[in-house]
Amino acid sequence: MTIPHLPVIIIGGGQAGLSVSWYLCAEGIEHLVLERHRRFESWRNNRWDSFCLVTPNWQCRLPGWPYRGPDPDGFMLKDQIVDYVDGFADSFDPPLREGVDVTRVWQQGGVYHLTTSLGVFTADQVVVATGGYDSPIVPPYAAKIDPAITQMHSRDYRRPSQLPQGGTLIVGTGQSGVQLMEDLHRDGRPVHLAVGPAPRSPRRYRGRDATDWLHDAGHYQITIDRHPDPAKALSQTNHYMSGRDGGKEIDLRRFALEGVRLYGSLAGASGTGVQFLPDLEKNLDDADRSYEGIRTQIDAWIAAQGIDAPVEPPFVKVWRPDREITQIDLADQGITSILWAIGFRPDYSWLELDCFDSHGRPEYTRGVTQVPGAYFIGLGWLNTWGSGRFLGIDEDSRHLAGQIVARDRRLRAA
């Protein structure tokens, strides 16, 4: 039986993989995209009902398919995002096979071998576009929590009615955690929030969206090799804010005034007992320091350019904790559910290539690994802040496709 061979195979049919495909189609490079589920599965089925973009619609710039809707400064809802990415895929009809699971990739004799649910394929070059959201993170001590307490990861949350009546403890204050907190709070649910070290950002400042100012100032063009603190950039949680209701800031202190109960980072749990670190005030202050730092950065840009922009009053901390609560009993507090919003881990166990560091993280320069013909796309800070996001995926995929095309020509000439 002849094993199908392709010059290039792309693993993953999200916006990253299909953006590379767009450029390869334009260059006439034969290739195949393999997707485990349906194209754009994460947008379709791994978001809650009220989900919307955090960055403005104008940042949606897939290859040949910029946002063309009536609200460039707005924030698309989940179904609108799906329509946008589906329109992109339909615009060039990529060579995509859906429902194909890739379970092993290895190299032999300079050729890549892929074991899939359709059988074995071989390829000269392989692009890994599976993202970094494979395995939801839940701490080991979650297994020790009283089974009467419903536990759910943010990936599985869709709407408040999924959770039992009573209070909910949300763990994590990245973009997902704070938005789910607001979703439940607006539904009238009692909400308890374990506040981690995530930074926060202003939404509108001095007459414009903060991301507009930062874009004009060149902030999003800073590459990882020119970043003043690359390690921090790679490890830091995204700044939290919201695109809901036309875009808004998330100030946890204001939610505390509205009745949301705030605690420090979750430290452990067993039965109905939960322990927190005494770091709530520190985490709130650190988030505000990030917030004020972005405002200062924008102020400096406005001053340097001589821009006439309205001046806003200084930031005021409207609430501080009276004390650090380090332990609660879930039953005593009426908490019937826990919503884990502490992120994901990538799973590269199927990828048997020598392109990982001692911690299992892929090593590359702008997505190009030291293994000839092996590439990554769609990961955070692949090159800039916009990598892995709609803003930067076009630039990243164009660069990667250029590398792939150049190597394909060398192989053909050999």
pLDDT tens digits along 54-82: 999 999 999 999 999 999 999 999 999 99
pLDDT tens sequence across 140-169:
999 999 999 999 999 999 999 999 999 999
* Among the listed residues 151, 199, 169, 196, the one whose alpha carbon sits nearest the alpha carbon of residue 330: 169
Given this model, what pLDDT does residue 414 score? 79
Same domain, 324 and 400: no
- Quote the pLDDT of residue 3: 85
One domain for residues 152 and 28: no
Q: Which two tokens stand for residue 198?
A: 């995530």
Nearest one of 212, 210, 158 to 184, comparing CA atoms:
158
Return the CA Rg of the chain: 23
End of a domain among 284, 313, 340?
A: 340
Handedness of CA 40, 42, 45, 49 (dihedral sign): negative
Q: 325 and 409: one domain?
A: no
Handedness of CA 342, 186, 277, 327 (dihedral sign): negative
**Cβ atoms of 218 and 297 closer than 8 Å:** no
CA 136, chain centre distance (Å)? 13
333 shares its domain with 384 = no
Domain identity same for 319 and 373: no
What pLDDT, on a 0 to 100 scale, did the predictor assign at position 236?
81
Q: What sign does the dihedral 14-17-19-24 (CA atoms) show?
A: negative
- Between the alpha carbon of residue 99 and those of residues 27, 87, 249, the distances in Å are 26, 20, 39
Query: Same structural domain for residues 21 and 114?
Result: yes
- Calculated CA dihedral for residues 74, 78, 79, 84, nearest 10 degrees: 60
Segment-wise mean pLDDT, segments of 10 residues, the chain, 414 residues = 90 98 98 97 94 97 97 97 98 97 96 97 98 92 98 97 98 95 98 97 97 96 90 86 96 98 98 98 98 98 98 96 97 98 94 94 96 96 91 97 97 90
Is there a contact between 330 and 353 (Cβ–Cβ < 8 Å)?
Answer: no
Looking at the fold, whether 44 and 163 belong to one and the same domain comes out as no
Q: Of 309, 340, 371, which residue constitutes the final position of a domain?
A: 340
Do residue 145 and residue 101 come from a single domain? no
In this structure, are 33 and 90 located in the same domain? yes
Query: Looking at the 3D structure of the chain, how many domains does it have?
Result: 2
Q: Rounded to whole angstroms, how far apart are CA atoms 139 and 172?
A: 12
What CATH number is attached to the domain comprising 103?
A: 3.50.50.60
Residues 12 and 102 in one domain: yes
Q: Can you list the positions of beta strands (E) in 27-177?
A: 31-35, 61-62, 65-66, 96-98, 102-108, 111-116, 119-128, 135-136, 150-153, 167-171
Of the three residues 281, 305, 340, the one that is the final residue of a domain is 340
CA 248 to chain centre: 19
For the whole model, what pTM was predicted? 0.95
Q: What is the DSSP string of 6-51?
A: EEEEEE--SHHHHHHHHHHHHHT--EEEEESSSTTHHHHHSS-TT-
Among 101, 134, 108, 141, CA closest to 123: 108
Could you give the CA distance from residue 88 to residue 102 in angstroms, rounded to a whole number? 24
* Structural domain span for residue 179: 136-340
Q: Per this entry, what is the length of the chain?
A: 414
Supply the pLDDT for residue 2.
78
| Segments of 20-86 assigned E as strands | 31-35, 61-62, 65-66
**Closest Cα partner for 248 from 191, 206, 203, 304?**
203
3-state secondary structure of 56: coil
Of 23, 25, 4, nearest to 400 by C-alpha is 23
Same domain, 353 and 223: no
Spatial distance between the Cα atoms of 271 and 141, rounded to a whole number of angstroms? 10
DSSP per-residue codes, 295-316: HHHHHHHHHHHT------PPP-
Do the beta carbons of residue 106 and residue 113 sit within 8 Å?
Answer: yes
d(CA 189, CA 170): 12
* Of 171, 132, 135, 134, residue with least CA distance to 151: 171
- Yes or no: say if 291 and 201 are a contact pair by the CB < 8 Å rule: yes
- Distance between alpha carbon 47 and the CA centroid of its chain, in Å? 12
Co-location of 36 and 121 in the same domain: yes
Question: What is residue 167's predicted lDDT score, i.e. its pLDDT?
Answer: 98
pLDDT of residue 159: 97
Which residues, other chains included, contact 68 with Cβ-Cβ below 8 Å and sequence gap of 6+?
Answer: none
Q: What is the pLDDT of residue 1?
A: 60
